[in-house]
Amino acid sequence: MPAYKSRFCPSPTGLLHLGNLRTALLNVLLAIKSGGTFILRIEDTDVVRSKTEFSEAVCDDLEWMGLGWQEGPRIGGPEDSYYQSKRNSIYESFYDKLLEQDLIYPCFTSDEELKIIRRNQMAAGEPPRYTGIWANASEEEIEKELEKGTQPVYRFRLPKDKTITFQDLVKGEQSFRTSDLDDFIVRKKDLSPTFMFANAIDDSLMGVNVILRGDDHLSNTPRQIALLEALNLKIPEFIHVALFTGDDGAPLSKRNGSLSVKELKELGYFPQAVINYLSRVGHTIPDNELRDLEALSSVFNVDNISTSPSRIDHDQLKFWQKNVIESKSIEELSSWLESHLKNLPKDIDKYSFVGLIKDNIVFPDEAVEYLDNLFINSLSTVKEVEDLIKQSGPDFFKLAEKIVKDNWGDWSKTMKLIGEETGAKGKGLFMPIRASITGQLSGPELDQVTEVIGQERVIKRLKEAAAL
């Protein structure tokens, strides 16, 4: 495997989501695996939609995830800038080269005209594409439009009747006839470059030798290859990964189940959980071992990337979150939960409480729920809990209270005596006691709960239960 120089180049028009994050992660793993370099580049040529706050959020989010870059914003590199909005002079020089070779031409076809053309093509069962109306326009025709004040786009003149073939490292050999493609836009009406143009130029100039991206870009690849060939620029290798889809099978989005990195943070996900999950989306790792980034790179293999789409699996994401929690010390988890334990009574040891709930939580909010139910909420907060307590009746809890007072320190003996005195057995014994003490129908073992909260609180809860 060569030393790959990979890249991630998001548009700062919104927050990073799981789909974007997966692409970034795979590029990072490929770079580490090959002993190469990972570049972060911001594709901010859309002056209307691109926002500085989103550019900063991209950097913050990748740093939080532990996906560091060796070239890019905040750290620099051999390039003057890694923001495409600051590289216009470079793009201008390549526009000039293409113009000199008559490889780009102005196109004055309006958006409305394009819609009509595409509508007619689809009605005739043809693929919608630009028909080259302005490809052979005369200087007089062009001048006439310019005199009207009409601002053109510039399109790349694809070579005719040519087959463009490249080897995709996942999908194998890919061939496209230029007759099936259209002359694509390289320069927009506002003089800014298109994705098709700027990214291909930047990749070559920055020495990127592998492009790993979603297979929704597959048809862009022959266009970019044709452009690079025309400019005598080096062509990278390509890896197109199958799409990461939502619950409905459509491309992953916020609407169908994706989460932004901001939301992952807010929910309390550990970065390690997210990268262990995403490293296995459409990529086979033959075990469920929890790994850090370096260890994940060692088992990353392009040959194990699937050619079939993968649906988001929130249960798997939670599975890895649970694995991370299990790997953490009580001190580490206490730090993770710090801001959520503000209402923990001062006489309750924080570490003891965290140790108590460790095996029963996935997110910090669940810790808050345990805290509230044990120390804050009344027993009538949850209807199912209240109903169960009422079914057992006040006498059951009065007897339980007396036995707890007389036998504190041996919970197994206490429960046995409560069963003997009340005649309750199995769930009929344990569930009402659990409900009354914890305010929940499931959770940590009762002997552990009672040890942490103490006799006084247990008796108080049994009194409350008897009073319902």
CATH of the domain at 15: 3.40.50.620
pLDDT at 94: 98
Percentage of the chain exceeding pLDDT 90: 90
Query: What per-residue confidence (pLDDT) applies to 253?
Result: 77
**Per-residue buried b or exposed e for 50-77, using 16+ beta carbons within 10 Å of the residue's own CB:** beeebbebbbebbeebebebebbbeeeb
Query: Average pLDDT in the 208-237 region?
Result: 97
Written as one letter, the residue type at 143 is: E
Q: What is the average pLDDT score of the chain?
A: 95
Claim to verify: residue 145 and residue 173 sit in the same structural domain:
yes
Residue 98 pLDDT class (50, 70, 90 cuts): very high
Claim to verify: residue 91 and residue 234 sit in the same structural domain: yes
Same domain for 403 and 294? no
Is pLDDT at 337 greater than 80 in this prediction?
yes
Give first-to-last CA distance, the chain, whole Å: 70
Task: State the residue for tokens 């909005």.
Answer: 85
The verdict on 110 and 232 lying in the same domain is yes
Supply the pLDDT for residue 1: 79
Same domain, 167 and 230: yes
172 belongs to a structural domain: yes
In terms of Cβ atoms closer than 10 Å to its own Cβ (0-12, 13-18, 19+), residue 179 is exposed
Q: What pTM did the predictor assign? A: 0.92
Residue 176 resides in a domain: yes
Q: Are residues 302 and 264 in the same domain?
A: yes
- Tell which wins on pLDDT, 250 or 157: 157
Q: What's residue 102's pLDDT?
A: 95
**Residues 131 and 267 reside in one and the same domain:** no
Lowest mean pLDDT among 164-168, 206-210, 424-428: 424-428
Contact 9, 162 (CB under 8 A): no
Residue 251, pLDDT above cutoff 90: no
Indicate the pLDDT class of residue 386, thresholds 50, 70 and 90.
Answer: very high
Do 193 and 283 fall into the same domain? no
User: How confident is residue 128, by pLDDT bands cut at 50, 70 and 90?
Assistant: confident
More confident residue, 201 or 468: 201
Q: Please state, for a pLDDT cut of 70, what percent of the chain lies above it.
A: 100
- Domain boundary pick from 262, 292, 314: 314
Mean pLDDT, residues 4-18: 96
How high is the pLDDT of residue 405? 94
> For residue 248, is pLDDT > 90?
no
Are the C-beta atoms of residues 330 and 351 closer than 8 Å to each other? yes
pLDDT category at 380 given cuts 50, 70, 90 is: confident
Q: Over the stretch 57-87, which tens digit does the pLDDT of each residue have?
A: 999 999 999 999 999 999 999 999 999 999 9
pLDDT at position 36 is: 98
- How far is 355 from 334, CA to CA, in rounded Å? 9
Regarding whether 234 and 212 lie in a shared domain, the answer is yes
Q: What is the pLDDT of residues 20-65, one digit of tens each?
A: 999 999 999 999 999 999 999 999 999 889 999 999 999 999 999 9
Residue 321 is predicted with a pLDDT of 98
State the pLDDT at residue 129: 86
| Domain count along the chain | 4
304 pLDDT more than 80: yes
For residue 440, what are its two tokens? 């929940």
* 285 and 424 both lie in a single domain: no
Domain range for 400:
383-467
Domain shared by 412 and 339, yes or no:
no
pLDDT of residue 257 exceeding 80: no
